Structure 1
Amino acid sequence: MTPEIGIVLAIIAAAVALFISERLSIDVVAILIMIAFMVTGILTPAEGLSGFSNSATITVATMFIISSAIFKSGALNNVGVVLTRIGRKNYLLCLLAVMVISGTISAFINDTAVVALLMPIVIQVSRDIKISPAKLLMPLSFGALMGGICTLIGTSTNILVSGIAEAHGLAPIGMFEMTPAGVLFLLTGVAYIFLAGRHLLPSRATAQDLTEEFGMGDYLTEIVLLPGSPSVGMPLRNSGLVQNLDIDVLQVTRDKQYKLKATPYTILRANDVLKVRCDVHKLKKIKDEKGIELKSERKFKERDMRAGNTKLYEAIVPPSSYMVGKSLKELDFRAYNHGATVLAIRHRDEILHEKLTHVKLASGDVLLIAADKEQAQKLRYNEDILIISETERSPYDYSKIIPVLLISAGVVTAAATGQVPIVLSALVGVVLLVVFKCVRAEDLYKTIDWKVIFMLAGVLSMGVALEKTGAAKLLSGLLINSVGVYGPHVLMSVFFFITFMLTNFMSNNATAALLAPIAIVAAEQLGISERPFLMAVTFAASLSFMTPMGYQTNTMIYGPGNYRFSDYLKVGTPLNLLFWLLASLIIPFFFPF
């Protein structure tokens, strides 16, 4: 143990703690790691920043663009139609279809995009056949995760480990090198969910009415503005109702017939009827002071909102959203979306109704939004939010389907033949997408999940620091001395176990970047092939089922499925242990020592 190794291990330990605590976003933690290594002198600036020029980082960025082009072309729309038809016939058949379809598509397209595409359809199907969405959303996420390990481009983790292997002078992972073992994992996982896991899935009743589901009974009402109210004659934004109370005005009814859109500049008049979101109990206590009266004690339902040309929408904040970590006030959400109003926020197990403008949004948060047709259309075009309470999407350009699919197939084929590296074929594919106007050049930056890119660049510095200081050799030596005496099969199994346990609580990419260099050094010290150890890390890093934060898709389904943390443990723990046993048997078979 040298001082340099001590510094590296201390930085990594602090990073792991930050990853698990989720106090900072994963990309920020990754960049802090990189900076810490450079500030302490462990890495030179060139070494620390080398992750940005790494082929894995560039490949992942290009695959985001290609996946987005396929998604936006509408090429996958028929998948939703097929799933809907199957789902309405039989639940068990639907369960199989959800996992097989999500797994198959995720082998070639970013799994987060696949879940975003299929989630609204799955929720709608579950309501049609009158079962809880929780019965299908977890299988959807798990299927996407298992499909991602079937090809090199199935997930960014596979590409990351391939880049790490290449940086150590080893052969990169082939396009379909993981496919035989990956398909076995997928089939085993589908069988587990179908035979046993489905009985462990929660069956919580979900209300058909969104106002009931979000507990809006005491937060939606109508008030009448009395002639003596100090708000009469004022623009809505200057009214004491808005300035001094936690209240949102959704609609103004004037002269009992004219329904006006509530804008900041709407001038309030005596006897206006305001449809509002607020704490009704607090409002009752101060109604005389504000010159208002409650029009009715009746609790509002979703149908009451529709009567005023306003509809309720359930929307989720996806992992790549610009909104993550920001409040509605910072985002100026209502102004940006032409007046669409957030009525409630479901964050993990709790539903928030008050002081919504100050709540910091997190990935997976579900928003209840009131919007008219114009506002709803704006929301559909907003890529930072995903409406999940309906299957209608923004218009697709179907003329782009054939060129997009041909270019994507060309990228895969070129990389699979080994004639060109994946990074080159993917870059050429992106250029062709722009040339054939399948993707606009100005939209390229929007389609890339920059948090993932910065996170990859940051965590790659861990591997460089581990190898440069000898920390990887020290850690691999400890593993070899403790379990290596039982043979490489046991050591490989231990790598798989450590990886899937870590990745359930911190970023899968960070886990892979931490353990892949150690696995390579361990194999070198034993004088055996590095492939089985690397594959153990690669497969295990993407097979995280025990926690909602283990993978982005698990986080995405948490709110819409009304899950609890314990649900992931009940369903995911047996599956992770089953895969641990399976990996111990099949990885040495497909990747001999």
Structure 2
Amino acid sequence: MTADLAIVLALLSAAVLMFSFNRPRMDVVALIMMVALPLTGVIGVEEALAGFSDPNIVLIAALFVIGEGLVRTGIAQRLGDWLVNRAGRSEARLVVLLMVIVTGVGSFMSSTGVVAIFIPIVLRIARNAGAAPGRLMMSLSVAALISGMMTLVATPPNLIVHGELIRHGFDGFHFFSFAPFGIPMLVLAIGYMLVARRWLGGPEESPLAPGTRPRLVEWAEEYELVEREHRLRVMRHSPLIGRPLEALDLRSASGVNVIAIERGGYFSRRLIRPLAGTELQAGDVLFLDLFAGTVDVDELCRRFALERLPLLGAYFSDLAQEIGMVEVMIPDTSRLIGSSIVESHFRSKYDLNVVGLKRGRKAHTGRLMDERLQLGDTLLVAGPWRAIRRLQPDKQDMVVLNLPVEFDDVVPAASRAPYALLALGLVVVLMVTGVVPNVQAALIGCLLMGWFGCIGMDSSYRAIHWQSLVLIVGMLPFSLALQQTGGIDLAAHLLLGMVGDASPRMVLASIFVVTAVFGLFISNTATAVLMAPVALAIAEELQASPYPFAMTVALAASAAFMTPVSSPVNTLVLGPGNYTFFDFVRVGVPFTLVALLTSVVLVPWLLPP
């Protein structure tokens, strides 16, 4: 061992030690190593910083942006809602559908981001099904990790291994090269988790209690709104067509408050703000609050040629992504005191409708629009979420008391969902066909997301997980330093010496085990950076194809099931699932062995050495 190699190995050991204790944080460790390695003289400053110009780094950053576009347009959330509706109260069906959906979504966006999206969905499912969250959360993390075994862009380790192949002069992996291994792994994982979930807390455990913030349906009961919610469609022969709302005077004449108007668009419905000059069209759906208790809905429909539409769920559930409610209080500085809601031009000024009023604890049940507001009155107002957000800084006329739980689930660009799917589909087609390089395909997807309004520039920069990028860039110089000092060849010879003249399957199993063990202490991204060149060196030593060895590293890097610190995915579910360290060990270690056996069987079969 040369002095240079000893220095590089000492720095690598220090990095692993700091990673293990997470002190300092991982990206800071990577920056320290980027500074320290050039000081050894083994590599230069330009080589230490070369990772910033690596196409794979740009590709990973672009994929973060595309993933955020899917979140902001509500695509991931709609899949979660579909899951809730389809699974019902069957826990087994929940596990199967949850793992399939999470793996599918995680194949195209960050697995950590997918878990963050689905944690509140799983908690809601657990409450509805009467199950302990711990019986579902582990399935969520396992599926998210397996999603990294599905596509080239599913996880950074895949891209790192792909890039290492290209740097050694080989063709890289194709977009779906990982799927033949990931799909069987998912099937095995589903079967395993249907059994293993029983080890994670029985049905006698109580689900997590709902938060203290109210829900829309609770406000509906508190303010006695349930019987006042209606959706009516404007028929083709309706006398309302072509007439502005102010000419109809529905509030004064009929005791009807138009909260919103749904109007069909090319791909989805749009929400129209009900202004005085808004003209109604055939097919418009009016979302109404009948604040006058004497309103006869059937008579209203006959008079104006309207069709009653069914409500699909709880109060406001049909438009929960566009319309919400907020509870506000009238302070002593308010200019609303002494005025009625009509006189104050509340809807015109705030783009919101008052649908409930309380004085003390008693809800007002009379004609709301004519009631004069008093100091301390609590109003329940409804309207577009964007108007509710604008209301928050205004503390002179109204003080926001409560935002509902549903506020956290609102996506800012729900109407752009079809365009986000179009952009994602184009990116996948370009990557699969290889018409342009992967990084260029991802950048095209980012530009389309921005052009279609799915995501803005500020949101794009916030979406990029800079800590992960700095970690990758900071660890890449180690690969180069180990190669130049002979460390890679030494590691390859040591590993081959351990397995002797064993079969290729045994060598692949050894690579899997070493990679998985490394993953116990450092991130799977850093593990892939270190193990990919070692695996290729072993393939060269054996005069074998590099692809099965590279694929084994990628699969092992994603098989981070064994501890809660093996992957950020596991760490995220630790609290919501109420897990202990041993829960991950007793569930993760057996399935890691399953993943090892599956890889040793499938990899040499589908990618002959």
TM-score of the two chains, using structure 1 as the length reference: 0.69
For 1:149, what is the secondary structure of its paired residue? coil
- Equivalents in 2 of 1:61, 1:137: separation in Å? 27
5 Å-filtered alignment, 1:487-526, equals 487-526=503-542
- Equivalents in 2 of 1:451, 1:190: separation in Å? 32
CA contact (8 A) 1:548 1:558 kept: yes
CA contact (8 A) 1:121 1:391 kept: no
Letter in 2 for 1:460: L
CA-to-partner distance for each residue in 1:250-275, whole Å, 9 max, x for gaps?
xxxxxxxx9999xxxxxxxxxxxxxx
- Equivalents in 2 of 1:9, 1:17: separation in Å? 12
Partner of 2:576: 560
Q: How many Å apart are 1:123 and its aligned residue?
A: 0.3
Q: How many Å apart are 1:484 and its aligned residue?
A: 4.2
User: Once structures 1 and 2 are overlaid, which stretch shifts more, 202-211 or 579-588?
Assistant: 202-211
Q: How many Å apart are 1:179 and its aligned residue?
A: 0.8
Partner of 1:104: 104
CA-to-partner distance for each residue in 1:9-54, whole Å, 9 max, x for gaps?
1111111111111122111112222222111112101110011111
Equivalent residue for 1:486, pick from 479, 502, 507: 502
Q: How many Å apart are 1:398 and its aligned residue?
A: 2.8
Partner of 1:245: none
Instruction: Report the CA distance shift for 1:92/1:391 in structure 2 as closer, same or farther (over 3 A).
Output: farther
Partner of 1:199: 198
Partner of 1:26: 26
- Bigger Rg, structure 1 or 2: 2
Q: How many Å apart are 1:496 and its aligned residue?
A: 0.6
For 1:175, what is the secondary structure of its paired residue? coil
Q: How many Å apart are 1:208 and its aligned residue?
A: 2.9
5 Å-filtered alignment, 1:312-391, equals 376=403
Partner of 2:188: 188
5 Å-filtered alignment, 1:110-149, equals 110-149=110-149
- Equivalents in 2 of 1:546, 1:22: separation in Å? 18
Partner of 2:479: 463
Instruction: Report the CA distance shift for 1:476/1:390 in structure 2 as closer, same or farther (over 3 A).
Output: farther
Equivalent residue for 1:576, pick from 581, 592, 595: 592
Q: Mind listing any 5+ residue stretches in structure 2 that lack a counterpart?
A: 213-327, 332-376, 379-391, 394-398
Letter in 1 for 2:126: S
- Equivalents in 2 of 1:35, 1:162: separation in Å? 26
Q: How many Å apart are 1:444 and its aligned residue?
A: 2.1
CA contact (8 A) 2:508 2:600 kept: yes
5 Å-filtered alignment, 1:424-439, equals 424-439=440-455
Partner of 2:543: 527
CA-to-partner distance for each residue in 1:420-442, whole Å, 9 max, x for gaps?
22111111221222233332123
Partner of 1:288: none
Q: How many Å apart are 1:502 and its aligned residue?
A: 1.7
CA contact (8 A) 1:57 1:160 kept: no
Sequence identity percentage: 33
- Equivalents in 2 of 1:504, 1:139: separation in Å? 20
Q: Mind listing any 5+ residue stretches in structure 1 that lack a counterpart?
A: 212-257, 262-307, 310-336, 339-371, 378-388
- Equivalents in 2 of 1:506, 1:444: separation in Å? 28
5 Å-filtered alignment, 1:54-65, equals 54-65=54-65
Instruction: Report the CA distance shift for 1:82/1:209 in structure 2 as closer, same or farther (over 3 A).
Output: closer
Letter in 2 for 1:2: T
Partner of 2:431: 415
Letter in 2 for 1:96: V
The total of aligned residue pairs comes to: 430
CA-to-partner distance for each residue in 1:517-536, whole Å, 9 max, x for gaps?
11111111111111111111
Matching of residue 159 in structure 1 with residue 159 in structure 2: yes
For 1:5, what is the secondary structure of its paired residue? helix
- Equivalents in 2 of 1:127, 1:451: separation in Å? 34
- Equivalents in 1 of 2:467, 2:596: separation in Å? 30
Q: How many Å apart are 1:176 and its aligned residue?
A: 0.5
Q: How many Å apart are 1:75 and its aligned residue?
A: 2.1
CA contact (8 A) 1:504 1:545 kept: no
- Equivalents in 2 of 1:441, 1:208: separation in Å? 38
CA-to-partner distance for each residue in 1:172-197, whole Å, 9 max, x for gaps?
22101111111111111111111x21
Instruction: Report the CA distance shift for 1:517/1:397 in structure 2 as closer, same or farther (over 3 A).
Output: same
- Equivalents in 2 of 1:10, 1:80: separation in Å? 47
CA contact (8 A) 1:147 1:154 kept: yes
CA contact (8 A) 2:134 2:201 kept: yes
Matching of residue 88 in structure 1 with residue 122 in structure 2: no
Q: How many Å apart are 1:555 and its aligned residue?
A: 0.7
Partner of 1:451: 467
Letter in 2 for 1:130: G
- Equivalents in 1 of 2:400, 2:144: separation in Å? 32
For 2:49, what is the secondary structure of its paired residue? helix
Letter in 2 for 1:396: P
For 1:437, what is the secondary structure of its paired residue? coil
Q: How many Å apart are 1:391 and its aligned residue?
A: 8.2
TM-score of the two chains, using structure 2 as the length reference: 0.67
CA contact (8 A) 2:135 2:198 kept: no
- Equivalents in 1 of 2:487, 2:119: separation in Å? 43
Matching of residue 546 in structure 1 with residue 547 in structure 2: no
Letter in 2 for 1:61: A
CA contact (8 A) 1:124 1:390 kept: no
Q: How many Å apart are 1:443 and its aligned residue?
A: 2.5
Letter in 1 for 2:578: N
CA contact (8 A) 1:460 1:513 kept: yes
